Structure 1
Amino acid sequence: MIPVYKEDYEYVLVGTFVLIWTNDSFAYLVGKNFGKTKLFERISPKKTIEGFLGGAIAAIIISYLIFIYIDLLPLWAWIMLAVIVSIFGTLGDLVQSKFKRKADVKDSGKIMPGHGGIFDRMDSMLFSSTFVFIFILLLDYVS
């Protein structure tokens, strides 16, 4: 998770969660409805480039709305957070898919059958949160 090391940074944490959920949801919706070009078919056959771009664009749009309501970071920083979450969240999802392929399992758990398991719901967050935290540290250090 992203540690809260300064006052009011819990808003950045919540904003990051919203960006991750937006990216995941819109990547799924756009990919399912418009996806034609496979992203990494060997690892995750249902992921598409169109889905990735749809999730990224939606996250960038939502980052603007977050900026309007949470005036803690500049707009460019929220947009960068959306880009970071989109790229590294997708990579986290692909890494999780690769683990599942290697283990020859469909779901990473039995609590949420058909959804890939609880770990599959959190893989984007687990992978991207490190890079979000590094970005926030760099942003704080430079400013």
Structure 2
Amino acid sequence: MQNLITRSISALIYAIIFITAILYSVESYTILIALFAAICLWEFTKIINFKNSIPFILLPLAIYYGKVLISEKSLLFLLAITLLCSLRLIYNLYQKSTTYPSAFIDKLDLCIRYIILPFLFLMTLPLINNNYHPYVIIYIIILIWTNDSFAFLVGKNFGKTKLFERVSPKKTIEGFIGGFIFSLIVGFLIGYYSSVFSILNWMIIAVIVSVFGTWGDLIESKFKRQANVKDSGTIMPGHGGLLDRLDSLYFLTPFVYLYVHFLM
């Protein structure tokens, strides 16, 4: 009971801070995402045992140049190398090897392409045609919450077939399907009642959120399993680290960014 109360209070504070920063202004959103990126980067370097200051020097530089000076062509190039890293991690997820990353260059590469660049795209995702659209982020968070909640509920009550037992023993295929279906329903409702994007676009975004959000959660779980740790940190009492809370969001963001800014 005490743990449930702790988890609830922690989650409420996190939600209030996140939503307030999103809605208040583009500046407050940028500052919060930069802070989240720094914390997640610190937690990730602990998981992969990477004791080097280079990523923490590159993070503010990436944020500054990404927000102020970078051209659309350069941004597209960074998006491409980020997506390639994501696809490599999805491929690596299905390999039984537990040695990745082991080399210095692989750890540095992951810090940049798995953490820093996705957070850069999360920061710039709601900036559409030079206008800040905060509800784009809020709706995506709602889709993630819907997918996670119904994957848990359906999996707990009807789940029989393990989705990826080697990495996450509690996830089931039935749970994934449940989260996927309810995400589509909520995507339809968002598109129907929202003036931001069409119904079809929000349903496509819901598919991206459900599929790549699940992969993002599994990939972070594999990193933790390789490091033999339960949580990425202790910053959120009852929940673990911030990386544990944001693994789906920042992993799926480059794919949503690609769709919203270049394909839609």
Which residue of structure 2 lines up, in the alignment, with residue 108 of structure 1? 232
CA–CA separation in structure 2 for the residues paired with 1:54 and 1:113: 28
**Aligned with residue 126 of structure 1, among 227, 236, 250:** 250
**TM-score, with length taken from structure 2:** 0.50
Which residue of structure 1 lines up, in the alignment, with residue 261 of structure 2? 137
Residue 138 (structure 2) pairs with residue 4 (structure 1): no
CA–CA separation in structure 2 for the residues paired with 1:100 and 1:40: 15
Paired amino acid for 1:4 = L
Unaligned runs of 5+ in 2: 1-121
CA–CA separation in structure 2 for the residues paired with 1:113 and 1:26: 23
CA–CA separation in structure 1 for the residues paired with 2:231 and 2:183: 26
| Partners of 1:107 and 1:113 within 8 A in 2 | no
Which structure has the larger Rg?
Answer: 2
| Partners of 1:11 and 1:70 within 8 A in 2 | no
| Partners of 2:224 and 2:232 within 8 A in 1 | yes
Which residue of structure 2 lines up, in the alignment, with residue 13 of structure 1? 137
Paired amino acid for 2:127 = V
Which residue of structure 2 lines up, in the alignment, with residue 32 of structure 1? 156
Q: CA-to-partner distance for each residue in 1:76-96, whole Å, 9 max, x for gaps?
A: 111100000000000000001
Q: Percent identity?
A: 57
CA–CA separation in structure 1 for the residues paired with 2:241 and 2:160: 26
**Aligned with residue 165 of structure 2, among 18, 37, 41:** 41
SS in 2 for 1:46: strand
Specify whether residues 67 and 8 from structure 1 end up closer, same or farther in structure 2 by C-alpha distance, changes over 3 A only: farther
| Partners of 2:236 and 2:242 within 8 A in 1 | yes
The number of equivalent residue pairs is: 140
Greater displacement, 5-14 / 17-26:
5-14
Greater displacement, 86-95 / 16-25:
16-25
